[in-house]
Amino acid sequence: MRRSFITAVAMLLASILAAGCFDSATPSGSAGSSGGGTTGVSPVTPAAPHWRIQYEIGFPRPARRQLPACPAAARCRAIRPKGWSTSSGKPLWALMVTRNLTCPSGVGDYLRGQSACRALARLRAVLGRKTATACSCPLSLGVPGRATLIGSSRRIALPLAFCPYCGHGNTAGVDHALALLQPRA
């Protein structure tokens, strides 16, 4: 007796939850319809991935006025990279470029936005492979660039230098992808 009571309560709860969770809309043109298609709550569409790409152009300089011009359609700011100074100990200046990109539409401040989205996808694909070989990378000067996924529950950051991609198998197109994501002019 007790088992059948528990089963009946479970079935009642399941039917209540099902009625609340699923759309019971009537098709357009039937009784109760306002003629505007189906009614009810539409499924939530996740936002398109939005990336913030930051990179340095030029080399650190002793004076702000010596920094290169900001590339077209980008936001730039002068920064003082940690650990960089002149021989007399005066801190150096560098120009940090910030760009935004929404993929796969390519909306943002890149002139070739969809190509930039494909470049990000290429870099993610290469990094997703297991390391195949060890590489010796040259010393990289300056502030390393990176692309960061904004608004995601998971933080995804892609380095914008060749060295992290070396050793991940076929790296064809990585240098082109890096150049595309970090235009200098």
Indicate yes or no: pTM above 0.85. no
State what percent of residues in the chain have pLDDT above 70: 68
CA distances from 56 to 2, 99, 119, 132 (A): 71, 12, 18, 29
pLDDT digits (tens, 9 = 90+) for 129-175: 777 677 777 766 666 788 999 876 777 888 998 888 887 767 778 88
The pLDDT score that the predictor gives to residue 19 is: 36
